[in-house]
Every structure is written in structure tokens, then in C-alpha cells.
A and B are shown apart, each in its own frame.
Chain A
Amino acid sequence: MPRSTTHSMRYDPLTDEELVRACLQGQRRAQRALYDRHVQAMYNTVIRYTYNRHDTEDILQQAFSKVFRYLHTYKSTSGTLRTWIRTICVRATLNHFQRRKLQFKPLTDAPVLHAKQTLPLEQLETDYIIKLIEQLPTHYRIIFNLYEIEGYSHKEIAKMTQMNVSSSRVYLTRAKQMLRRSITAFKSTPKDASL
């Protein structure tokens, strides 16, 4: 185990709030402890959007830099620290796609069908789901992740992706349709999903 990680272990019993306070005092080991506590979840979050290790690490670098830079603005009353960090990571991911000239085209004329039908994702193993999401086109994957996994509303998604709410619903509907077809296909084929 790396030495810095070993030294940061004494911060493990601390709550997020206590850890934040220690970080704000400029304690490097507390910052490392906070990073170790949340980097795994954030890595898994970001890679669900990018499916690229290099891009994921770039995004995480920017995101955690922002986390430590704006840590003093974190309010424990508005949510957990992990949610706050995840928000920063998601926004950093969207910024990453915007720099890549990814734009969401308005899809207002498309029919919204079966938008509220739930997918049987929880019946599948995590790696299978990861593989299924990876097969989605980038636009659909982003909207699906934002709505179904992160829990954003269509209004919030529309604001984050600079499109209208109905387009967000259409993207989600189509993503679900694709996933439903993929799930059906996966059930009939040997499962060897690995990332």
C-alpha cells in the first residue's frame, strides 16, 4: 500500500463533515483520505459516460481539483459529500463532451413511448449492465445515466445539456428501447461482459 494512503488511514473513522473540516485546514493527508474515500465511486461514475480510461482520469483530475478548490462552499445541509462530489464529476464529464463538440439535437417531433416503463436492470449483474450501457450511442448513454442512474429530472438534464425537456424524454425513451432489445439479446447469449 502506498505510504500516503497508509498515513491517511487514520482519517478513515472521521465522518465526511469532519474530514472536510480537516481538509479546509490544509491537511494534506486529510485531502488524500477524502480522495481515497470517493475516487472509486467517482471513477465508476465517470467511466459510465466515457468508457475511456484516459478520458476518465482526465475528467477526475479536473473534478477533484475543483472539489478541493471549492470545498469551502460545501454545505452538509444540502446533501451528502458524495452527492456533491458526484455532481462536480458529472458536470466535468459534460464539459468534457462539450469540448468534444458533442451536441444534443432537438428531438421534439419524435414520439415518447414507454418512457415510464422500467427496465429489469436490477436483475442483471453490474458488469452486464455496464456492457449494455456501453453499447448505447453517446447521446443516449449520457441521458440514460443522468436520468436513470444519477437521478436527475428531465428539467435538470435539459438545463445541463442545453436542450429542451421533451428532447430529453425522447432520448431517454430511445435509450430504453435500445437497452430493452439488448437485454433480450443478452439473455439469449453467453454472458461474458468485462470492461
Chain B
Amino acid sequence: MKNLQQQFDRRPIDFDRNALWETISLPEKRRRPWWMVWFLGGTLAIFAITTALWRTTPMLGSWPINTSTQQGHTLQPIVINSVKKPPSTTTCSVKTTSYKSPSNTNVILVADDLSTTPNTVLLTTPLQQITLAKTTRLHPLISHEQASDQGSHEARQEQHHVPTLANPLRLSRQSPGQLSLPHAQVAPLTTVVPGLLRLETQMMPPMPIVHQSTQPVRQLARQRLLLGGGIGWHHHHQNFTAKSVTDRKLDYNFSAVEGFAYALQWTHQLNGSLYLFAQGQYTVLQNRWWTTDIHQILYVPPSGEAVETTVINTTYELYHQTSVWELGTGMGYRLPYRKWSVEGELALAYAIQQQQTGQFLNDNVELQSIITNPTPTRWWQPLRLWTDIGISRVLGASPWSVKVGAQLQVGANSPLNVEGQLAPVLPGQLYLKVGRQLRAKRK
């Protein structure tokens, strides 16, 4: 009866087509501007957040300074004054003093690096033993070779003033002979800065990668060019312990770096769910530096129970910005699930570092700007291997579709050289993404 149906279809009709057309609602005309507004709004929001929120030009006074003390069981009175709110100025003074009071009272002036008022710890009986139980430091992964030269020079100068601190540590364990003169020396925190800068130049830690790679099966295109942008953060957690001949112990924790990225990805669908992709991305990271020192002081009087006092100082913040171009290629696998698409990718990327800028406190506790052009010392240092798993969904219809999704990425780059020891870095990133399909060819 197909012929009959075609006869019916060709039958001339007499009705007002235009009148009927005017009554038909066309939702597409309303939906398209909405998606465009959504996309543009999202892009602007990402730009605003990433540039304004992380525009951390020196805000030394705005960063909260956390100081807490934990006091163990004690037989002796311990007075701890913690004055930790720094002035909102970049000129900071450091007082680092340790002396023995005339009244046989040991006074430890714990340096408050941003405040002119020192913290005072009064111990009313002679110290017999001071034990550094733990020193924890948080600082960024990024270091500067050029700045390290300058920092090393300053560090050497610092060592003349604080002979007991040849290393970035603020506290050092005293030898038994030194313990006969009960005191504890606390170095200015600024010595940390040259210490940090002694780190060899390393490439950027893996950046948040934003890419658009999936479409529902019904919209699969063999060639696709996707533009994406997103915000991201990655948290580096690295416990790095080194023991030197002097039996000093260093514990490093490398922590969060925030940033944003823009990426351009070209995808070539192989067959089924497998695809190849090439990706270029530009990433900017801005991070603050802060240092947390945990001082655990164990005091054992001649007769009596031990007294353990913990002083935690979170001290200063610096500004640092770095940007990197990264070119990578890899393979991905897409698994459609209802209207969603789950994808896994594996890629190898080459990073091209851009000029790094930042500010730090020098030994004179003055704010100093640094501009470095990092160059890798080994050919493999810019390489980065990363894998990710993500879920995304296409909203709207091609070519006006908007892709939204979330992706968790784990990468590995060249290890950091921290004081002569290579430390592995395994960053993880979780980010949201939004993208547009610019060109599509249907199969």
C-alpha cells in the first residue's frame, strides 16, 4: 500500500499554510539563545573566578595566620603568648632571639615572622633537653634555578647570623654538648625562602586539563575540534623524608596549587569507542606559599614528669604565578551510558614553560619580585604522562551542543629534586569542564 500512500501524499490540498505555520511553536528559537547565554556565562564565570579569586598579588595581611598550641601534662607553669595577626603590610620584621634570663628562667622567643611582637614561651626551670620531634613544612613544588642562585647567596649570609641553621629548617636538634647551655634557637622564617629556592628547576606539576572528547553515540563525529576551558585544582601530597649524616629529619608536604586552563583538542574517532586525540592547552597557576612549623619541645626536669609543648606557626604567604603550554597526544576510550558518556584517556604531553613571576621575602624581610625563565636540565623533564577518567554529557544538538562534564585526572611527571633526593610527584586533579563542538562531520 506504499503506492497508495504516495498517491495520498501527492493529493493537492487547499488550506492556508501560512496561517498554520504561524501557529506552530518553534522551541529551538528560544532554546538557542539560552544555550549561548549559558555557555558565555559559564565561560565568563570561569574567567572571573580564575583571574580574580587567584589573583594573589601580595596579600600578606589577608591570609589567616593560624597558631595553636598543645600542651601536655606538666608540673611547671608554661606561658605561651601567641600574637599571630600580622600587619597588613609587606614590611615585616623578624625577631629571633634566644637567651637565658638572669633569673635562671629560659625564655624562648619564637619568631613571629610577620609580627613585630614575638611569641614568648617561658619555662621557669632550666631546660635539660629539647627535642625537635616534628617539623612540617608546606611549600610549592615550583622552584627557580635563577632565583636559587640568589637565594643561596642570601642563605649563606643568613648562616653567618644564625650559625646553627645551615639548612632551611627553623629548628635544629641540639647536640648533648649544646644542651648543657639550655636554649633553643629559632631561625627567622625567611631562611626558608632561600632554602626553597635551592630546589632545582623542575617542570610544572601536572596542570588541570580540560578537554572535550565525547559525544553521545547518536552524535558521534569522526573528526572533531573541541574548545574547552575550566577551573581546576590539584593537590600534591608528598611525604618526603631525608636523613642526613647529622641525623636531621626533614618532612615535606607539598600541597595545593590552584589554577585554570584552556585547552584545544582534536579528536579522531577510530572505531567504536576508541579514539585518538591531540591536545594543546595553556594553563596558568597562581599559588600561595605558606609555611607551617610544628615545634614540639620536650622538657624533662630533674625530678618530675616530662613536659611536652607544641607550638604551631603558620606564618607567611607569598605570591607566585607560572604558566605553561602543553602539547600532548594520546588515546581514549568512550563508553556511552544512557545519555552520558564515560571516558578514559591516556596521554603523553610535552610542557613548554613560560616565564614565571612571583614575589618572596628576602633575608631582610623585604618583598622581592622574581622573574625566571625555567629551562629543563634533562630532556625528559618536560614530559608528563597522565591518565584520566571522566563523565560528560552533551546538552543541545550538534553543532550547537554544549558539553559539560567532570573529570578526575592522575598524572606523573619528572620527580622533584629536593635537597639532592628525587621525590616522586603524583598529582591528582578534579575539575569541571565546559566545551563547544566547533566542527563536526557526520559519518
Q: Which residues of A contact B (CB under 8 A)?
A: 2, 4-5, 17, 21, 23-26, 28, 31-32, 35-36, 39-41, 43-45, 47-48, 53, 57, 60-61, 64-65, 68-69, 71-72, 75, 121-122, 126-127, 129-130, 148-151
Q: Across the interface, which residues of A come within 8 angstroms of B21, CB to CB? A: 4, 32, 35
Q: Across the interface, which residues of B come within 8 angstroms of A121, CB to CB? A: 1, 4
Interface range on chain B: under 10, 10 to 19, 20 to 34, or 35 or more? 20 to 34
Closest Cβ of chain A to B373, distance in Å, is 46
Q: Across the interface, which residues of B come within 8 angstroms of A25, CB to CB? A: 32, 399-400
CB-based contact A129/B398 at 8 Å: no
19 A–B contacts, CB within 8 A, in A order: A2-B17, A25-B32, A26-B28, A26-B400, A35-B24, A39-B17, A43-B13, A45-B9, A47-B13, A53-B15, A57-B23, A61-B20, A68-B27, A69-B28, A71-B28, A122-B3, A126-B8, A129-B7, A148-B1
CB-based contact A31/B397 at 8 Å: no
Bound-state Cα–Cα, A149 to B8, Å = 9
**Across the two chains, which residue of chain B brings its CB closest to A39?**
B17
What is the interface of chain B mostly: helix, strand, loop, or mixed?
Answer: helix
Bound-state Cα–Cα, A174 to B188, Å = 102
CB-based contact B26/A149 at 8 Å: no
Q: Which 6 A-B pairs have the closest CB atoms?
A: A72-B397, A41-B9, A26-B32, A24-B397, A64-B24, A65-B25
**Across the two chains, which residue of chain B brings its CB closest to A129?**
B4
CB-based contact B13/A69 at 8 Å: no
**Across the two chains, which residue of chain A brings its CB closest to B35?**
A26
Question: Does B2 make an interface contact (CB < 8 A)?
Answer: yes
Q: Across the interface, which residues of B come within 8 angstroms of A4, CB to CB? A: 18, 21
Q: Across the interface, which residues of A come within 8 angstroms of B25, CB to CB? A: 65, 68-69
Question: Does B11 make an interface contact (CB < 8 A)?
Answer: yes
Q: Across the interface, which residues of A come within 8 angstroms of B17, CB to CB? A: 2, 5, 35-36, 39
**Across the two chains, which residue of chain A brings its CB closest to B16?**
A57
**Across the two chains, which residue of chain B brings its CB closest to A72?**
B397
Closest Cβ of chain A to B2, distance in Å, is 7
Q: Across the interface, which residues of B come within 8 angstroms of A53, CB to CB? A: 15
CB-based contact A65/B24 at 8 Å: yes
Closest Cβ of chain A to B28, distance in Å, is 5
Cβ-neighbour of B28 out of A31, A39, A45 (below 8 A): A31
